[in-house]
Amino acid sequence: MKEKGLPAKTVLKEIESRLNKDFTFNSGKVLGSMCTNPHDLAKEVYARFLEKNLGDPGLFPATAQLEEEVIQMLGMLLSNPKATGNIVTGGTEANVLALWAFKNANTKNGGEIIVPVSAHCSFDKAASLLGFRIIRVGLNGKFQVDIEAVREAINHKTVALVGIAGTTSLGVVDPIRELSDIALEHNLLLHVDAAFGGFVLPFLKEIGYEAPEFDFRLSGVSSITIDPHKMGLAPIPAGGILFRNSDLRKFITWKVPYLAGGEIEQATFVGTRSGASVIAVWALLNHLGREGYRRIVKRCMRLTWKLTEGIKQIYGLDVMTEPVTNVVGIKSDIFNIKLIAEKLRKLGWAVALFPRHIRIVLMPHINEKHVESFLKDLRNIVRELKG
Ligand SMILES: Cc1ncc(COP(=O)(O)O)c(C=O)c1O
């Protein structure tokens, strides 16, 4: 730090020129991210209420009330208006909180959590923090968790199962009904990670796509992660953790006595936390409503299928599986997919690379022209590789 500060104008200019090197969602080049431009209203609201601290809700009771309403609205979206929970920093914290509650509710010593190999790495972080052993089970031909493998992995140490509703790599949904039945049969907890799918799956049926079951309607589901900062269009940070009721959540509820607003009970990992995030989510849920989100999902799904059809027409390329949500996996049995990803990156496309495929997420910042321009570059790369 310098002894004497710089004028605000100079600092802003410097920041603008330094941040020029970052990708922007508006460029249409970011095809591999599950985040997007926050909605304008959410940006405005977020910037207006930066001082709100939900770590001290006694000082901000009105903001705390908005969080309760957000959880109720998300609960309704996930078929359970009685759900309890919090807006947290993201999917990672939400998944950790679910497993933390499972750990404290667990009467067994140690314990195992059965998780699909497709699960996000936040479950490894959670297991490492909480002393659980993660048992990773394989997938079926549709890249969903193999239900027979789940059954085989269950033993006296098993504490819980995890199902994914919108996998990180391909956006597919595990057979959550079957997982729910198994959880009930064996008296296990079941966490559903719908960090990505939570703002997509509830709208699919209404716009004519197949909509796999995944939410609290299935009585074995104990908790769900749903992230407003992915397909919810909220500013970062905004993840969501919802428990079926307060039974599990009470295991991660702590008294915090020292606050200016008076003693509280807190069920989040962090103390001081953003009220602005919560207010922004409240604004979006009320402004967009189901109708607004349905429109956004419809547009993303249309582009998902446009890209899918385009890829199928390129020699040597195919999709890993038919898309379920707005995620497409591009594979090739002929060309080296890593080389294709490198060439795409050289052309400025920010794509995500997985061991056997390139992941494209058709987020709201992508439009028709971006998809066409990407397909054109992909065709040229393949032509060049063919020689
Ligand atoms: C299915 C799933 N769960 C959890 C996460 C972690 O979310 P975050 O990066 O917000 O912590 C991701 C991230 O992409 C995800 O795809």
Ligand 1 atom at minimal distance to the Cα of residue 237: 10
End-to-end CA distance of the chain: 55
Domain boundary at 287, 322, 343, which?
287
Q: For tokens 């709201």, what's the residue?
A: 364
Q: What is the pLDDT of residue 343?
A: 98
Which helix (DSSP H) or strand (DSSP E) does residue 108 occupy? none
Kindly tell me if the per-residue pLDDT of 327 is higher than 90.
Answer: yes
Kindly tell me if the per-residue pLDDT of 109 is higher than 80.
Answer: no
Mean residue pLDDT across the chain: 97
Supply the residue whose CA is at minimum distance from atom 5 of ligand 1: 91
Average pLDDT over residues 51-71: 98
Q: What is the pLDDT of residue 61?
A: 98
Whether ligand 1 lies within 6 angstroms of the CB of 92 is answered as: yes
Whether ligand 1 lies within 6 angstroms of the CB of 120 is answered as: yes
Domain boundary at 287, 318, 334, which?
287
CA of 263 to the centre of ligand 1 (A): 32
Let me know whether 358 and 310 are in one domain.
Answer: yes
What is the spatial distance between Cα 104 and Cα 107, in angstroms, rounded to a whole number? Answer: 8
Is residue 12 included in any domain, yes or no? no
Q: Which residues form the domain of 175?
A: 41-287
Point out which residues pair with 173 in neighbouring strands.
165
pLDDT in tens, 184-222: 999 999 999 999 999 999 999 999 999 999 999 999 999
Kindly tell me if the per-residue pLDDT of 374 is higher than 90.
Answer: yes
Let me know whether 57 and 175 are in one domain.
Answer: yes
Average pLDDT over residues 322-338: 98
User: Model's pTM, two decimal places?
Assistant: 0.98
CATH of the domain at 255: 3.40.640.10
Ligand 1 atom at minimal distance to the Cα of residue 227: 10
CA of 227 to the centre of ligand 1 (A): 8
Average pLDDT over residues 307-322: 98
pLDDT in tens, 222-252: 999 999 999 999 999 999 999 999 999 999 9
Ligand 1 atom at minimal distance to the Cα of residue 92: 11
Judged on CB neighbours under 10 Å (0-12, 13-18, 19+), 302 is middle
Torsion, CA 237, CA 247, CA 177, CA 133, rounded to 10? 70
pLDDT in tens, 134-189: 999 999 999 999 999 999 999 999 999 999 999 999 999 999 999 999 999 999 99
Whether ligand 1 lies within 6 angstroms of the CB of 90 is answered as: yes
Query: Interior CA angle at 117 toward 116 and 118, to 5°?
Result: 85
CA of 212 to the centre of ligand 1 (A): 20
DSSP designation for 14: H
Q: What is the layout of strands, in order, in the sheet containing 158-164?
A: 84-88, 239-243, 223-225, 189-193, 158-164, 112-116, 133-137
